[in-house]
Amino acid sequence: NIVNNFVSGLILLFERPITIGDVVVFQGEWGTVRHIGLRSTVVETFDRSEIIVPNSQLVSEPVFNWTLSSYTARCIITVRVAYGTDIAKVMQILEVIGKGHPEVLTDPPPSALFIGFGESSLDFELRVWVASINNRLGVKSDLGTTIALRFQEEGIEIPFPQRDLHLRSVDENAGRLLAGKNRSRKSSHAPDRNMEKAGGEQGKDKAREEDL
């Protein structure tokens, strides 16, 4: 393993598939390359923890390098609106918001796309490009916030998942059981006629005593 890591380190240094400062994704972890040694490479994650990766793994396993040839990156904001909403109006609003952000590139320009019909929504995507991948999350947050506020102003509903249940048939035994429970509940809440009658007689006797 030591020899393998050493040879892999030489490959990284000479071929330079990754360099210090690159933003990479390795085994699902996002991070920035901070050091490349002969045996291992240090990747700092976005929460500032450091991952020591053997060079042999960087050579033999897939590594996504977001900044190999350029720091530009694409942001995709998924938007869902209620059925019945004007599709053209939604796409126009998304494009205007994308073009209005100062950190969004004009080339390629922002684009709004109608993606399809969801279970309870019409689905759209706003796709924009930013000059630096380091600003990607901030721009995505800004655009999402602006979209939500604009939709609220325009009265465009952002739906939540809904389910409609249609009962086609009920088992006969289950129906009888349910009906029996309902009858027992009604009878438990009904007033006792005998108690009411007894209470009424006691009230009359008390009234006679007071008159005497």
Could you tell me the CATH number of the domain that includes residue 56?
2.30.30.60
Q: How many domains does the chain have?
A: 2
Residue 141 lies in a domain: yes
Q: What is the pLDDT of residue 128?
A: 98
Structure tokens at 76: 């995709």
Question: What are the φ/ψ torsions at residue 47 (nearest 5 degrees)?
Answer: -95, 15
Q: Is the pTM of this model over 0.85?
A: no
Other C-beta atoms lying within 10 Å of the C-beta of residue 109: 13
Q: How far apart are CA 5 and CA 55, in angstroms?
A: 5
My answer on whether 87 and 123 are in the same domain is: yes
Give 135-185 as a 3 state SS string.
HHHHHHHHHHHHHHHHHHHHCCCCCCCCCCCCCCCCCHHHHHHHHHHHHHH
For residue 11, the surrounding DSSP H or E stretch is helix 2-15
Of 32, 65, 98, the one marking the end of a domain is 65
Q: What is the pLDDT of residue 69?
A: 87
My answer on whether 106 and 59 are in the same domain is: no
Residue 133 lies in a domain: yes
Q: How far apart are the first and last CA of the chain?
A: 113
My answer on whether 146 and 86 are in the same domain is: yes
Peptide bond into 108 cis (omega under 30): yes
Residue 101 lies in a domain: yes
Of 65, 83, 114, the one marking the end of a domain is 65
Sheet containing 73-81: which strands, arranged edge to edge?
Answer: 73-81, 122-130, 111-117
Residue 103 is part of a domain; what is its CATH number? 3.30.70.100
My answer on whether 150 and 79 are in the same domain is: yes
DSSP string for 47-74: TS-EEEEEHHHHHHS--EETTSS-S-EE
Q: What is the pLDDT of residue 81?
A: 97
My answer on whether 31 and 82 are in the same domain is: no
My answer on whether 78 and 143 are in the same domain is: yes
Residue 166 lies in a domain: no
Residue 165 lies in a domain: no
Residue 14 lies in a domain: yes
User: Helix (H, G, I), strand (E, B), or coil: what is residue 113?
Assistant: strand
Q: What is the pLDDT of residue 150?
A: 97
My answer on whether 92 and 145 are in the same domain is: yes
Residue 177 lies in a domain: no
Q: What is the pLDDT of residue 212?
A: 47
My answer on whether 16 and 42 are in the same domain is: yes
The shares of helix, strand and coil residues in the chain, as percent rounded to the nearest 5, are: 45, 25, 30
My answer on whether 86 and 121 are in the same domain is: yes
Where do we find the tokens 């947050």? 141
pLDDT tens by residue, 92-129: 999 999 999 999 999 999 999 999 999 889 999 999 99
Q: What is the pLDDT along the chain (212 residues), one digit of tens a residue?
A: 777 777 777 777 777 889 999 999 999 999 999 999 888 999 999 899 999 999 889 888 999 999 988 899 999 999 999 999 999 999 999 999 999 999 999 999 999 999 999 988 999 999 999 999 989 999 999 999 999 999 999 999 999 877 777 666 666 666 667 677 666 665 555 555 555 555 555 555 554 555 54
What is the amino acid identity at position 190? A
Question: What are the φ/ψ torsions at residue 42 (nearest 5 degrees)?
Answer: -100, 125
Q: What is the pLDDT of residue 2?
A: 73
Q: How far apart are CA 204 and CA 211, in angstroms?
A: 11
Domain range spanning residue 25?
Answer: 2-65
My answer on whether 58 and 127 are in the same domain is: no
Q: What is the pLDDT of residue 12?
A: 78
Residue 128 lies in a domain: yes
Residue 43 in contact with residue 51, Cβ under 8 Å? yes
My answer on whether 78 and 57 are in the same domain is: no
My answer on whether 78 and 110 are in the same domain is: yes
